[in-house]
Amino acid sequence: MKKILIIEDDEKLRTELAIFLNNNGYKAECLECFNNTIEDILRMYPDLILLDINLPGVDGEYICKKIRKESDMGIIIVTSRDNELDELVSINYGADHYITKPFNIHILLAKINSLLRRACNNDTKDKINVKDFILNMSNCTITKDDKTIDLTRNEYKILKYLIENRGKIVSREDMMDCLWESESFIDDNTLSVNITRLRTKLEELGLQDLIETKRGQGYILKGENEDEFKGFYKR
Amino acid sequence: MKMNLKDFIKDKMLLSCLLLFGVLTIEIFLLAYPFGTFIKVYIPVIIILLYITGISIEYFTKKRFYKGLESTLNELDDKYLINEIIKEPNFMEGKILKSTLEQTDKSMLEHVNQYKQKQENYKEYIELWIHEVKIPIAASKLIIENNKNQITKSIDEELTKIEDYTEQALYYARSSTVEKDYYIKKIVLKDVVNESIKRNKNVLIHNRASVHTHDLELEVNTDSKWIVFILNQLIGNSIKYKKQDENLVMELYAKQGKENVVLYMKDNGIGIKQDEAAKVFEKGFTGTNGRLIGKKSTGIGLYLCENLCNKLGIRIELNSVQNEGCEVCLVFPKSSFTDI
């Protein structure tokens, strides 16, 4: 599991950030004292640091430069300044990304994900093995027993979201939220239509009961046993 | 106030009367003595002729100066710069005028600078304040992210509103100062449009809106943050003024013109009355809609949008038919001025 070090002086912000990252499969730690920041970072040697540039009494950009000289770890600068010039300077100092507060937490997560995947030199897994079928991420298809069916972009996103939240009931609103985040701005009716179409396609593969409706709550992927989803993509 | 002959003569009236009186006196003396007719006529005529020549020269000199002054004044947009432009006149009143103007200009400049400085200080304070307030907003949003439920989702909506208002305050402060706080670069319209939609996704989904985007792969040169802000205002308006009984439908697309790229934003809301359409960009304009729906409107949103668009060289237009929705166009020029 990848280690992320959070260097941020606002206590609540760093605590919540740590919780969020831990919930998303990372091992997040925080620095609480900023007297020996550079030594501390190098000692803990995380895979990525979230660095607040506006640390009191410390020059964040200097830290960035120093760390980049000594290591290859991912550096994402987090700040409340939104001056474009700061971004350029930071990139020149070796930061990989620059994000301003208040940030969209999903975008931050996406940046972290992409940075760590790249640094690790692991190819992004382009298949998800679920029970007895495979979701192919590269071409949005689903394969079971040698039969492959095409999914539309929305159908693919819905299925992927259900798989990612296996074992949990997913509300329609959450699903809509996820779809809109990936720039499919559909409305409620369209969502229903898409799920119906998805089910029809799944039926062709003999997976007609895969998506179960929980009245008044949402949908869930049938087979709530965690074991059935082994081989799931790991970061 | 223009210089004219009548006024000039009026000013010279006293002098002329005195001269006439003097000439008459001399003439009486001349008539009393046995001078030749030639002298009796020659002397008064010479005196009067010399006098007329003298004031004519004065008239024409002054007339030329004041005419120049008047035409320069008319041509100048920044009329307070007049004293820097006109040449030093060569008659006393002109010199006095110029020197007086110099002093009044200086005093007024100091006075204006005081206000400029005050405004600049205030703007800096607002920027600082907004950066400070962003931190608790970010922390709150994170806490909500880690503790998602119906209640926190509702709070999240309100937090987004706070975010929107602080952003509006920031741009308002920036829009009224002289410096350019923007950073022009090439952006793809699709990116800014999507960013803005995602920013408003909670309230859009909540309102069961459907959003269609197409043909947005076009590039423009502009400040992306300002455009996202403007789009946020426009989307916010569409949501505010949607029809009560119909779901909001929004369409965003772009067209490439010969000299420009136009971004269209259409909605199916309640629209704007014909006679109010021209006034929507005025500061503080709330219109019939703003008061009808009972939604409080600051009247700042569109005013700010137009202001920012002007700074960026973008034309903003609004077309609407009451009850049939609204269409806003942002026209991005393709000129060498903005090309990088």
Q: Name residue B169's amino acid.
A: A
Looking at chain A, the whole-number percentage of residues with pLDDT higher than 90 is 10
Q: How far is CA B189 from CA B213, B217, B262, B339, in A?
A: 11, 6, 10, 16
Specify the long-range contacts of residues B167-172, CB closer than 8 Å, at least 24 apart: B167/B130, B167/B229, B167/B232, B168/B229, B168/B233, B168/B300, B168/B301, B168/B304, B169/B126, B169/B130, B170/B126, B170/B127, B170/B130, B171/B226, B171/B229, B171/B304, B171/B308, B172/B300, B172/B304
Q: What tokens appear for B215 in the block?
A: 């043909």
Using a CB–CB cut-off of 8 Å, the residues of B that contact A are 131-132, 134-139, 141-143, 145-146, 163, 183, 194, 197-198, 201-202, 204-205, 208-213, 225, 247
Residues 6+ apart with CB under 8 A from B225: A82, B183
**Helix residue ranges per DSSP H, chain B:** 5-11, 13-32, 37-75, 82-85, 92-146, 150-175, 189-199, 201-206, 224-240, 287-292, 301-312
Q: How many CB atoms lie within 10 A of CB B243?
A: 16
Helix (H, G, I), strand (E, B) or coil at B243: coil
CB-CB: which of A82, A84, A187 is closest to B209? A187
- Sign of the alpha-carbon torsion through B319, B219, A84, A180: positive
With CB atoms and an 8 Å threshold, state whether B131 touches A177: no
Minimal C-alpha gap between A38 and chain B (Å): 24
Task: Give mean pLDDT, residues A27-56.
Answer: 88
With CB atoms and an 8 Å threshold, state whether B134 touches A12: no
Question: Above 0.90 for ipTM, yes or no?
Answer: no
β partners of residue B188: B219
Residue of chain A whose Cα is closest to the Cα of B192: A183
Minimal C-alpha gap between B247 and chain A (Å): 10
* A234 pLDDT higher than 70: no
Q: How confident is the model at residue A229 (pLDDT cuts 50, 70, 90)?
A: very low
A16 interfacial to chain B (CB closer than 8 Å): yes
The model's pTM is 0.72
With CB atoms and an 8 Å threshold, state whether A185 touches B210: yes
Q: How far is CA B88 from CA A77, B71, B96, in A?
A: 60, 16, 10
Residue of chain B whose Cα is closest to the Cα of A19: B146
With CB atoms and an 8 Å threshold, state whether A12 touches B143: yes
With CB atoms and an 8 Å threshold, state whether A188 touches B208: yes
A190 interfacial to chain B (CB closer than 8 Å): yes
Rounded Cα–Cα distance for residues B105 and B91 (Å): 21
Minimal C-alpha gap between B327 and chain A (Å): 19
With CB atoms and an 8 Å threshold, state whether A173 touches B247: no
Residue B254 burial class via C-beta count within 10 angstroms: exposed 0-12, middle 13-18, buried 19 and up = buried
With CB atoms and an 8 Å threshold, state whether B202 touches A177: yes
Binding-face residues of A in 205-234 toward B, CB within 8 A: none
Residues of chain B with pLDDT under 70: 177-180, 287, 289-298, 335-340
Q: What tokens appear for A67 in the block?
A: 């760390």
Rounded Cα–Cα distance for residues B102 and B124 (Å): 32
Helix (H, G, I), strand (E, B) or coil at B80: helix
The answer to whether A61 and A53 have CB atoms below 8 angstroms apart is: yes
How confident is the model over B175-218, as pLDDT tens digits?
A: 776 566 777 888 999 999 999 998 888 888 888 888 999 999 99
CB-CB: which of B139, B213, B225 is closest to A10? B139
CB-CB: which of A17, A176, A180 is closest to B142? A17
Cα torsion A99, A103, A106, A112 to 10°: value is 30
With CB atoms and an 8 Å threshold, state whether B205 touches A173: yes
- Sign of the alpha-carbon torsion through A45, A81, B228, B208: positive
Q: Name residue A214's amino acid.
A: K
Identify how many contiguous H helices and E strands chain A contains and give both numbers.
Answer: 8, 11
From chain A, the residues in CB contact with B167 under 8 A are none
DSSP string of B250-285, one letter each residue: EEEEEEE-SSEEEEEEEE-S----GGGGGGTTSTT-
With CB atoms and an 8 Å threshold, state whether A17 touches B208: no
Residue of chain A whose Cα is closest to the Cα of B203: A177
A187 interfacial to chain B (CB closer than 8 Å): yes
Q: Kindly report the backbone phi and psi dihedral angles of residue B258, in degrees, each rounded to the nearest multiple of 5, phi listed first.
A: -65, -45
Q: Are strands B210-214 and B249-256 parallel, antiparallel or unpaired?
A: parallel
A181 interfacial to chain B (CB closer than 8 Å): yes
The answer to whether A74 and A108 have CB atoms below 8 angstroms apart is: no
Q: Kindly report the backbone phi and psi dihedral angles of residue B309, in degrees, each rounded to the nearest multiple of 5, phi listed first.
A: -60, -40
CB-CB: which of A85, A102, A186 is closest to B141? A102
Q: How many CB atoms lie within 10 A of CB A225?
A: 9
The pLDDT mean for chain A works out to: 81
Please give the order of strands across the beta sheet that includes A127-130: A127-130, A133-136, A141-144, A147-150
Helix (H, G, I), strand (E, B) or coil at A234: coil
The answer to whether B36 and B43 have CB atoms below 8 angstroms apart is: no
With CB atoms and an 8 Å threshold, state whether B212 touches A185: yes
**What's the pLDDT at A85?**
59
Rounded Cα–Cα distance for residues B257 and B219 (Å): 12
**What's the pLDDT at B298?**
66
CB-CB: which of B146, B198, B247 is closest to A20? B146
**What's the pLDDT at A120?**
54
Please name the residue that has the structure tokens 């569409």: B238
With CB atoms and an 8 Å threshold, state whether B138 touches A101: yes
Q: Name residue B14's amino acid.
A: L
DSSP annotation of B148 reads -
Q: What tokens appear for B328 in the block?
A: 């806003």
A186 interfacial to chain B (CB closer than 8 Å): yes
**What's the pLDDT at A233?**
42
**What's the pLDDT at B290?**
58
From chain B, the residues in CB contact with A101 under 8 A are 134-135, 137-138
